[in-house]
Amino acid sequence: MPGMDDETADLILSIREDARRSALLSHLAGGAKAVKEESDTAANADAEAVLAELVDGGIVERDGDAYSLTDFGERVHEYATRDWNPSNEGTKRAATFETLADCEWHCSACELPSSQPAKDIQMLRKEGFEFVQNTGQGQGDYRHCENCEDTTFHRKLEYPFPTQKSITRQDMPDSFKRRVRGLYDHRDAFDGSSPSTTLEVDHRVPEVRWEESESFDYESMSGEEIREHFQILSRKHNLLKSRKCESCVENGKRPPFMEVEYYYEGGEAYEEDVGCVGCGWYNPHEWRASLQAELDG
């Protein structure tokens, strides 16, 4: 059901938070069952009222005195009762999800256990989890934290279950990697060096900023398209860029490229309509050319 609409997600969340409806769905999960005659007629009437509501919602179907889950109801039951934590129990990532699963705002600085919450958020988004977004700040918002008494970046899950399609990364053919390295004359995008080690093909837009799965046709990409989307970096520089991009996601501020506070488009603050464009970490080739043009002018 990933890719579900808001109405369905809200319905599942309401059932998840309602012990009566969740219990009835679990009771029917094993197959069709009749409503039992109970001495407590009020309780029996209440159960019938809840079942009638579920029937109207297309979650349960009735055949005489017997009730059973519809196909839609089977999926609703799974989403309403399953533990959706995608990480191994006992890990910091699992603890991060457990903290966020109440769908309240949480301080990245003092409430989330991981030292790299942006990586955890990326992992959850790749699994299809939605986060409340604040325009201009991406997957979160700056708020005052009563615990650490500071204004910090906060995160909030929309739902404690996945509602979007998972974000997947394509396998990049070795032939394409060789082509990209050849296009850039085997020179590191950051400093123009040609190290003895194999340079890595890097996506200009970091994975932590992806909103959908990759869909490149590697075999037919033109040189212009390659330059638009990819660059090559040493392993050291690729890891450095990853850390810088994660910090940008975390605090909404684009880090200076090589300590030079210059952006050829936009400014220090990350803006959704500009994205990564203008940042030296995104495109050092364009960054250098633009800066040089300004110096020459």
**pLDDT for 234-266, tens place per residue?**
999 999 999 899 889 878 899 999 999 999 999
- Residue 219 has a pLDDT of 92
Is residue 244 within 8 A of residue 276, CB to CB? The reply is no
Predicted confidence (pLDDT) at residue 159 exceeds the cutoff of 70: yes
Taking alpha carbons only, the member of 108, 85, 119 closest to residue 155 is 108
Query: Cα(276)–Cα(205) distance, rounded to whole angstroms?
Result: 7
- Residue 121 has a pLDDT of 84
Q: Which two tokens stand for residue 42?
A: 């009020």
- Residue 36 has a pLDDT of 61
Predicted confidence (pLDDT) at residue 135 exceeds the cutoff of 50: no
Exposure string over 147-160, b if 16+ CB within 10 A, otherwise e: eeeeebbbbbbbbb
Write down the mean pLDDT value for the chain: 89
- Residue 41 has a pLDDT of 61
pLDDT > 90: what percent of the chain? 61
Half-sphere exposure of 189 (CA within 13 A, CB side): 31
Give the predicted TM-score (pTM) of the model.
0.65
- Residue 189 has a pLDDT of 97
Q: pLDDT per residue over 32-87, tens digit each? A: 887 665 545 655 667 888 889 999 999 999 998 889 999 999 999 999 999 999 99
Taking alpha carbons only, the member of 140, 141, 227, 143 closest to residue 189 is 227
pLDDT > 70: what percent of the chain? 93
In this prediction, residues 254-283 reach a mean pLDDT of 95
* More confidently predicted of 25 and 138: 25
Query: Cα(184)–Cα(177) distance, rounded to whole angstroms?
Result: 11
- Residue 30 has a pLDDT of 82
- State CA 75 to chain mean position distance: 22
Q: Kindly report the backbone phi and psi dihedral angles of residue 114, in degrees, each rounded to the nearest multiple of 5, phi listed first.
A: -80, 150
* More confidently predicted of 203 and 152: 203
Query: Cα(280)–Cα(260) distance, rounded to whole angstroms?
Result: 9
- Residue 35 has a pLDDT of 65
What are the residues whose beta carbons fall under 8 Å from the beta carbon of 187, sequence distance 6 or more?
Answer: 193, 194, 199, 232
Predicted confidence (pLDDT) at residue 1 exceeds the cutoff of 60: no
Exposure string over 233-254, b if 16+ CB within 10 A, otherwise e: bbeebbeebbebbbebbbbbeb
- Residue 134 has a pLDDT of 60
